[in-house]
């Protein structure tokens, strides 16, 4: 579908108890050099002053309230209400530099068939970390072609396998995606509330086309101890996300599906060995099941470790 000269971009912001940061976040959106924007904030059951701040100080923002259902469901709700040709997600404590949207629209105009555009980001807040691309060692080794002075393009054929090992584009606050394509791939999986939902959507989009990225840090990611990304451990969510992906494995290349099964075997093993109770049993049994995708030697070693973990669990004294 051809883009209009001044496409509308729908900014979707999921928020839960965001009173501390939401004004600064919304100001960064309203400060964009691209003026054709609609801002949709989905309040995911906040119990603080998020609603009153938004409704009092930001009357142009479309405010939607829902019972708490998680970030994935909130983002889906926002997209369902959106009118824009493009969707840009922004977490309620992150910020954009003024050129973020305009720069990404120029990039996507030069690569109209790409399925996702993202950018680098800088970390700030109480526990700042390295810049985003500095945490993504696989990205620097991928084959790319220059689009313009700052834009790079990654061919679709090289995207899927690297995404298993390196979440180089996992921050939705850096994304720009066509609304039509987001809906075609089914949006976010709302059952994933322990992490992994961003990875799964990125994989779904990577299966549809090339990615493009701006090498500049056009997003500022706030990192604080109580943020969603810090409270959610990666492994449990990724295990659920990979398991969800296998439910429609026929849509993906066989080599990629095989690697997912291998990754699941090891992820379930390590998570199971450190888990307790029924979670331990379920994870270790799943590790044995997915180990069928490994070669003979690796399958044997993993199965022995998983069986050892199960036997130790069964022989452990039960709490009275």
- Residue with more model confidence, 168 or 150: 150
Please state which of the four CATH numbers 3.90.550.10, 1.10.8.60, 3.90.1210.10, 3.40.1350.10 is assigned to the domain occupying 9-224: 3.90.550.10
Given a cut of 90, whether residue 123 has pLDDT beyond it is yes
Residue 231: what pLDDT? 45
Contact 68, 112 (CB under 8 A): no
Calpha distance 181→213 (Å, rounded): 18
Taking Cα atoms as reference points, which of 74, 89, 105, 231 lies closest to residue 173? 89
Question: Mean pLDDT, the chain, as a whole number?
Answer: 93
Confidence of residue 315 (pLDDT cuts 50, 70, 90): low
Element (H, E) at 158: none
Q: CA 310 to CA 304: how far, in whole Å?
A: 10
Compute φ and ψ for 280, nearest 5 degrees: -60, -50
Q: What residues contact 310, with CB distance under 8 A and at least 6 apart? A: 280, 281, 284, 285
Q: What are the tens digits of pLDDT across the range 17-73?
A: 999 999 999 999 999 999 999 999 999 999 999 999 999 999 999 999 999 999 999
SS3 label, residue 218: strand
Residue 189 pLDDT more than 90?
Answer: yes
Q: What is the pLDDT of residues 65-116, one digit of tens each?
A: 999 999 999 999 999 999 999 999 999 999 999 999 999 999 999 999 999 9
Q: Per-domain residue ranges for the chain?
A: 9-224, 253-315
Alpha helices in the chain (DSSP H): 22-30, 50-57, 71-81, 100-110, 160-165, 179-184, 197-206, 228-231, 234-246, 254-274, 277-290, 296-315
Phi then psi for residue 30, to 5 deg, are -70, -15
Report how far residue 164's alpha carbon sits from residue 161's, in angstroms, rounded to the nearest whole number. Answer: 6
DSSP state of 170: -
Model confidence, pTM? 0.92
Of 51, 59, 62, 45, the closest CA to residue 22 belongs to 51
């Amino acid at each position: 579908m051809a883009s209009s000269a001044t496409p509308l971009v729908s900014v979707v912001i999921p928020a839960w108890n965001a009173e501390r940061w939401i004004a600064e976040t919304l100001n960064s959106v309203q400060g964009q050099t691209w003026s054709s924007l609609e801002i949709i904030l989905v309040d995911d059951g906040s119990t603080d002053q998020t609603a009153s701040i938004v409704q009092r100080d930001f009357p142009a923002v479309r405010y939607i309230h829902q019972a708490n259902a998680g970030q994935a469901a909130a983002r889906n709700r926002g997209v369902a209400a959106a009118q824009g040709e493009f969707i840009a997600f922004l977490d309620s404590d992150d910020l954009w530099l003024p050129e973020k949207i305009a720069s990404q629209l120029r990039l996507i105009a030069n690569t109209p068939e790409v399925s996702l555009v993202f950018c680098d980001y800088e970390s700030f807040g109480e526990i700042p970390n390295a810049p985003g691309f500095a945490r993504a060692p696989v990205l620097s080794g991928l084959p790319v072609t220059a689009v313009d002075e700052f834009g790079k393009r990654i061919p679709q054929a090289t995207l899927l396998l690297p995404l298993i090992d390196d979440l180089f584009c996992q921050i939705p606050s850096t994304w720009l995606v066509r609304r039509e394509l987001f809906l075609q791939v089914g949006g976010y999986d709302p059952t994933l509330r322990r992490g992994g939902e961003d990875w799964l959507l990125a994989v779904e989009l990577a299966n549809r086309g090339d990615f493009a990225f701006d090498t500049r840090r056009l997003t500022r990611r706030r990192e604080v101890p109580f943020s969603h990304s810090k409270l959610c451990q990666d492994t449990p969510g990724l295990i659920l996300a990979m398991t969800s992906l296998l439910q429609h494995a026929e849509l993906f290349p066989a080599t990629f599906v095989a690697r997912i099964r291998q990754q699941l075997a090891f992820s379930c093993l390590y998570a199971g060995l450190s888990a307790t109770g029924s979670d331990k049993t379920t994870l270790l049994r799943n590790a044995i099941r997915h180990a069928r995708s490994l070669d003979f030697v690796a399958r044997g070693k993993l199965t022995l470790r998983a069986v050892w973990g199960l036997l130790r669990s069964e022989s452990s004294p039960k709490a009275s």
